[in-house]
Structure 1
Amino acid sequence: MKLRNRIAYHFVSRLFLLLLCWAALLFICIITLSTFFNQKQTSTSVPITEIVDATNRQDGKITVDKPTLQSIAVHNLWLQILDEDGRELFSINKPPSMPEKYTPGLLVSNYVYPAKSGYHLSTWYESIGSQQLTWILGEKMKNNNPFFFWANNLWVLFMMVSGCLIAIYIGKSFGAPLLHVVSWIENLSSGVYQEPVNKRGPVNSRSKKGNLKSGYKTYKELMNALEDLMMILKKNKEDHEKLETTREEWMTGVSHDLKTPLSVLKGYTFLMASEAHQWETDQIRSFSLTMQKRIEYMEYLIEDFNLTFRLKNDTLLFKKHQINLVELLRETTISLTQLQEAENMEFEFLSDQENILIEGDENYLKRAFENLITNCIKHNPPMTNIKIRISKGDNFVKIEIEDDGVGMAEEVLDHLFDRYYRGTNSLNSTGTGLGMAISKQIILAHQGNIEIKSESKKGTKFIVKFATAPLNFCN
C-alpha cells in the first residue's frame, strides 16, 4: 500500500476506533446507570393522576380535595404544586430539605437520581384554566443509601476521564510520529544531522532492538527517506569541510610553489640589473634559461588551476577528430622516459594492434595520460617497472597503466581524484594536487571511465576504457 493511502487508512481507522470507544463508554454508562443507580420503586399507592383530578382553582388559589389529602397523609407521601416558573403554589407534608422553587435541571436531577434527595418523585404537567402547573408527588426511599449518589457521580467522572485518556492515547499514536518527523526536519534544516531523541537518550521511533515502533511503521518509507537524506546531508557537510581544508592546504602549497620560482626570478633580475657586475653572454644566457624554466613552471601551475575549473563547469571546448590511441600513448610514454626521475625505471609498452581509432581531442587526451604515467614515475622509487598495455574489445578499448612500486594506502585511494589532494605517502611533494582530477575529468568528458587498483608495497594499476565507435561530444 502506498504511503498516502496508508496514512489515510491510519487516520480513518483511528478516528473510527475513537468513536467506537466513546460509543461503548456511553452504552456502558447508560446500562450501569439504569441498572444500579436509578433505584426505582413501585408506583406510589396514590396515583398522581388522581391527585391532578382532585386539584381545583378557587379565587386564584390552588386547592386539593380533602379525601385526596387524607390519602396522601395516610400513605406518608408529600405533594408540591408548582407554577410555570417552578415556584411553589401548594404543598402538603413537604420535607424541609425540598426547595420551594425548582429549576428545570434541579427537578430532573432529583427525579433521575433519587438517592440525592432521599425521595422517589412522580411528576405531572397539566393546565388548569390558563395556568400551566407541575405536580410533584414524593415518597421516601426504602433504601436511602447515600453510596448510590456518590458512586453515580464517581462513575460519570470515571467515564469522562476514561474517554479523555482514550482520546489522548489515540491522538498520541497518530500525532507522535508526525511530530517526530517535523522535529527531524527541523534538525536537518538547522544543520543537526541526527534523528530526534527523548530525554533518556534513545530515539523515539525505535524500540530497544532497533525496530520501528508500531505507530511509526505507517510512515516507514518517509522515515527511511529522511534517514537517507540525513546521511547524504551529513556526508555532504563532511565533504565540504574536507574540501575547504584541502583547498586551504592546496593554496598554501601552491603559494609556496609559486614563491620559490618567484624568488629565483627576483634574485636573477636583481643580479642582472646590478651595475656592480658585468655579466658575460653565456652567464646571461644561463640566467635566462633558469628564469624561463621557472616561468614555465608557474604557467603550468596557473594552467592546471584554470583547466580544472573549466572542466568542472563544462566550459572547455574539445577539438575532436579521429586519433590513433596506440600512437598517442607510445609518443607520450617515450617523452616521459626522458624525465630525470625516470632514468632508473623500466618501461614496457604493449598493444595487440597498431591502429586503434577513437574520436577525441588529442592534446587533452595526451595531457590525461601524461598525468597518469607521471604519477607512476614521480611517486615511486628508482628501479620501478612501469607497463602500458592497450587491448581492444568488441566495441571498446582498454588502457592499463601499471607499476610495481610502493602502492597507495586506502585513504589515498579514496581521495586520489579529488581536487587539491596530495597523497600523504608521496615521494615527490611538488605539484598542484590537480593532475589526477584533471585526468579523470578529461576521460569522463570523452565518455570514458577510469578505475584504480592499488595495494601498499605491491603497486598501482590505472584502468581506462573508451568506446571505439564514433562518439558525439558536446562542444
Structure 2
Amino acid sequence: MNNENSSYIKISSMFTRNVIILFAIIFIVNIIMLHSVFINNSQLKINKYNEIIDKAIKYKDNSIFLDEKGKKLLSKNNLWFQMIDNSLKEVSSYNKPLEVPSSYSPINLIHSYKYDIANSSVFIFEKQIMGKKYSYLLGFPLEVVSKYNIQYNTSALENLLHGKFIFILLINIIIIILFSYFCFSKKIVQPLQKIIDSIVIISKGKYNLNIQEKGLYKPIYACLNKLSTALNKSKLEKDLLDKSREKWTSYISHDIKTPLSSIKGFTEIMKDSEYTFTEEEIKKYSSIMYDKAVYIEELVQDLNLIHKLKNSAIHLNYEKINIVQFVIEMKKEILSSPNFFNRKIKFTSYSDVLYINADAKLLRRSLSNFLINFLIYNDDDTNICIDIIKNNTDIDIVIKDNGRGINPDELPHIFEQYYRGTNTNTNSNGSGLGMAIAYEIIKLHKGNCNIKSKIGIGTTLVISIPSFTNH
C-alpha cells in the first residue's frame, strides 16, 4: 500500500510541477508578445517597398522607367510593377506576369485591387511626374501578402480584437499542445504505451521480455520482467512435463503390450488342434503366461497406487515404529532372497531405539524399493551401507555405496514416474514406477529425499522422516 501511495504522490508531484512550468512559460511568452505588439508595432513592409519604388521611378526623354535599384528589389522579392496613366493604359512595367492586362476599365482596376490577379495581391500607389499624375501597381505573391474582402461591424470587431486577444489565445493554445506532447507524452503516455505493448506481447505467449527498468514506472517494468521470467519458466516446465508424459505413456504401452503379446502367442499355439502338448509343455507355457499376467497386474496396481499417492488419496495407518529394528528386519528379508543371497549390507546406528510415526506397510515398500535399487544397479562387490542418524526433529536413513554412480543429467529425474536410468548393465523387469512410488510415500509421511552421486565414486541417498510425536 505504501508503494502504491508513493507512486500516486510521484505522479501528482510531477503533474503539479509541470503545470507550474507550463503557466510560467505561457506568462513569459505573453509578456514578449505584448511587448512586440504594443512597443514594436510595425506594419508589413509594403510601405517600405513603396518608398523604394517611388524613388526608383525615373523620367527621361518622354519615357518612364525604373532604375537598377528598383529592378533588383522587384526581381529579388518576386514582385512586379506596372504604371498607368489617367486613361488607365500602361506606360511602363517590369517583371509583369502575362496575365496582367495592359489597360483597364474602371471596374477592372477596382477588381484588381480588391481581388488577386495573376496569383498576386495588388496595391495601388500614386506618382506625380512633370506635373502629371500617374498610378502604379505593385504586385506581391499571395504567399507573402494576401487580401480578403470582409464585411463587418467596425466597433464590434475592434472590441473583439482589442489587445490582440485572438492572436495571443492561439499562441497559448499552440504552446500548451506542444508542451503537452513533448513533456506529458514522453513522461506518461509513451511509458504507458510501452507497458500496454508488453502486456500484449505476453498475452501472445512470448515471454522473452527484457524491459529497461528506469523512470517513474520502474517498479512496473520490474514486475513485468519478473512475470515474463516466471511464465517462461512455467512454459519450459510444461513442455518438459508434456514430453515426459508422452514418454511415460509410450513406456506403459510397451510394458503392457510386450507381456500381452507373449500371452497371445502361447494361447494361439495351445489352441492349435493339430499340435498335441505334453504335460511338461503345458506347465511351462502356463507358467510363462501366469508370470506375464502377474506382471501386468502389478503394473496396473502400481499405476493405481502412484495416482492415489499423487492426489493424497491414501489413508495412512500410523503406528509407532522403532525404525532401527524396522530397517534391520527389512535388510535381512531382502538379503534372504536368492537374487541377493551373496550380497552384503553394512548397518550402523548410534541408538538401538529411534521411534517414528508411519504406516508400516507403505514405509516397508518405500525403503525396500530404495535398497533393492542400490543392489540391482551395482556390481556384486559394491559396498552398501545404511546409517540411521537422529537430528533435531528428523531421523535420517542414509543409504550409500561406492558403486557406478548416476549420470549428472539423469540425477534430477531419478524420482520421476517411469524413469529408467542408463548407467546399468542390468535388464530390469521393473515397471519404472518403483522409485517414484517410494519417493511419494516418503513425501506422504511429511518426509524428504535427497540424493547425490558421482560417476565411478558412488551414490548417497538421505531419507528424512519426522521423529515420533504423540500428536
Q: Is the shorter-chain TM-score for this pair beyond 0.5, marking a shared fold?
A: yes
Name the residue aligned to 1:214: 215
CA contact (8 A) 1:250 1:433 kept: no
Counterpart-to-counterpart distance in 1, 2:273 and 2:408 = 57
Counterpart-to-counterpart distance in 1, 2:207 and 2:149 = 71
What letter corresponds to residue 418 of structure 1 in structure 2? E
Write the deviation string for residues 40-98 of structure 1: whole angstroms up to 9, x where unpaired. 89xxxxxxxxxxxxxxxxxxxxxxxxxxxxxxxxxxxxxxxxxxxxxxxxxxxxxxx99
CA contact (8 A) 2:363 2:441 kept: yes
Name the residue aligned to 1:184: 198
Name the residue aligned to 2:144: none
What letter corresponds to residue 364 of structure 2 in structure 1? K
Are 2:261 and 1:263 equivalent residues in the alignment? yes
Shift of 1:261: 1.6
- In the superposition, relative to structure 1, how do residues 384 and 344 fare at CA in structure 2: closer, same or farther (>3 Å)? farther
Name the residue aligned to 1:35: 35
**Structure-2-length-normalised TM-score:** 0.68
Counterpart-to-counterpart distance in 2, 1:438 and 1:103 = 100
Counterpart-to-counterpart distance in 1, 2:374 and 2:245 = 24
What letter corresponds to residue 201 of structure 2 in structure 1? N
Counterpart-to-counterpart distance in 2, 1:341 and 1:239 = 39
What letter corresponds to residue 191 of structure 2 in structure 1? P
Correspondence 1:190-205 to 2 at 5 A: 190-195=204-209, 205=211
What letter corresponds to residue 170 of structure 1 in structure 2? F
Greater relative contact order structure (CA < 8 Å, 6+ sep): 1
Shift of 1:162: 4.1
CA contact (8 A) 1:378 1:427 kept: no
Corresponding residue to 2:395 among 389, 394, 397: 397
Name the residue aligned to 1:301: 299
SS at the partner of 2:216? helix
Corresponding residue to 1:163 among 176, 198, 203: 176
**Which range is displaced more, 170-179 or 308-317?**
170-179
How many residue pairs get matched?
364
Name the residue aligned to 2:13: 13
Counterpart-to-counterpart distance in 2, 1:291 and 1:358 = 42
Name the residue aligned to 1:453: 452
Name the residue aligned to 1:107: 158
Write the deviation string for residues 219-277 of structure 1: whole angstroms up to 9, x where unpaired. x1x33333333222222221121111112112222222222222222233334434344
CA contact (8 A) 2:26 2:175 kept: no
Name the residue aligned to 1:51: none
What letter corresponds to residue 183 of structure 1 in structure 2? D
Shift of 1:18: 2.8
Name the residue aligned to 1:361: 359
Name the residue aligned to 2:226: 228
Name the residue aligned to 1:74: none
**Which range is displaced more, 321-330 or 22-31?**
321-330
Counterpart-to-counterpart distance in 1, 2:352 and 2:264 = 49
Correspondence 1:64-103 to 2 at 5 A: 101-102=152-153
CA contact (8 A) 2:449 2:461 kept: yes
Counterpart-to-counterpart distance in 2, 1:284 and 1:329 = 42
Shift of 1:343: 5.8
SS at the partner of 2:409? helix
Correspondence 1:131-146 to 2 at 5 A: none
Gaps of 5+ in 1: 42-96, 115-151, 196-202, 207-211
Counterpart-to-counterpart distance in 2, 1:349 and 1:105 = 113
- RMSD, aligned CA: 3.2
**Structure-1-length-normalised TM-score:** 0.68
CA contact (8 A) 1:344 1:383 kept: no
Shift of 1:462: 0.7
SS at the partner of 1:321? strand
Correspondence 1:113-124 to 2 at 5 A: none
Shift of 1:193: 1.1
Corresponding residue to 1:418 among 416, 421, 429: 416
CA contact (8 A) 2:251 2:418 kept: no
Shift of 1:405: 1.6
- In the superposition, relative to structure 1, how do residues 166 and 418 fare at CA in structure 2: closer, same or farther (>3 Å)? farther
What letter corresponds to residue 311 of structure 1 in structure 2? L
Counterpart-to-counterpart distance in 2, 1:365 and 1:377 = 18
**Which range is displaced more, 397-406 or 181-190?**
181-190
CA contact (8 A) 2:320 2:468 kept: no
Shift of 1:16: 0.8
SS at the partner of 1:400? strand
- In the superposition, relative to structure 1, how do residues 178 and 358 fare at CA in structure 2: closer, same or farther (>3 Å)? same
Counterpart-to-counterpart distance in 1, 2:248 and 2:149 = 98
CA contact (8 A) 2:346 2:385 kept: yes
**Which range is displaced more, 272-281 or 256-265?**
272-281
Counterpart-to-counterpart distance in 1, 2:427 and 2:241 = 19
